[in-house]
Structure 1
């Protein structure tokens, strides 16, 4: 039951970030929406396959991808932007 609540919360958060991305077209929100969407889908998959052992590499790789997207979004937002000619 707790896995379902986490999956629902992750999906709702993904939908909020998707709405912010649609209104601003800022990739920061898109990366966060993807991250929470992946996390929600992973929780649903885990609940439907009845896997109690979450120590398989697949679980860690999915979470690494989701958290990596968050880290990439933060880094991309805070790094200085480069112009097309290579100057900052």
Structure 2
């Protein structure tokens, strides 16, 4: 038996996740502004991109299906965080 999914619940959850991601981005913006640490800037970019892509998915005709452009944009945001982590760790040595 497969669970019954309602588009209204899907849209609500995507919107909620998008809003929470943008709020997390605001927190990292606050931390970055006070410290100027590039790692906080990378997390800011990550959460803003995640929130914007979740909001953009809401406008798609079939939001539950994969979209290559959304995947690539999200992958790039993860790579930004990974690059910032590597940069911070390599700078210590």
Interval containing the TM-score (normalised by the shorter chain) = 0.7 to 0.9
Q: Does 1:65 align with 2:66?
A: no
SS in 2 for 1:54: coil
**d(CA) in 2 for partners of 1:54 and 1:62?**
16
In the superposition, relative to structure 1, how do residues 75 and 16 fare at CA in structure 2: closer, same or farther (>3 Å)? same
* Equivalent position of 1:84 in the other structure: none
**d(CA) in 2 for partners of 1:37 and 1:54?**
22
* Residues 44-59 of structure 1 aligned to structure 2 (within 5 Å): 44-59=55-70
Q: CA RMSD in A?
A: 1.6
Aligned length: 82
Runs of 4+ in 1 over 3 A off after TM superposition: none
Q: Does 1:3 align with 2:43?
A: no
TM-score by length of 1: 0.83
Which of 18, 27, 34 is equivalent to 2:45? 34
Shift in Å at residue 55 of structure 1? 1.8
**d(CA) in 2 for partners of 1:9 and 1:32?**
14
Gaps of at least 5 residues in structure 2 are 1-11
* Equivalent position of 2:29 in the other structure: 18
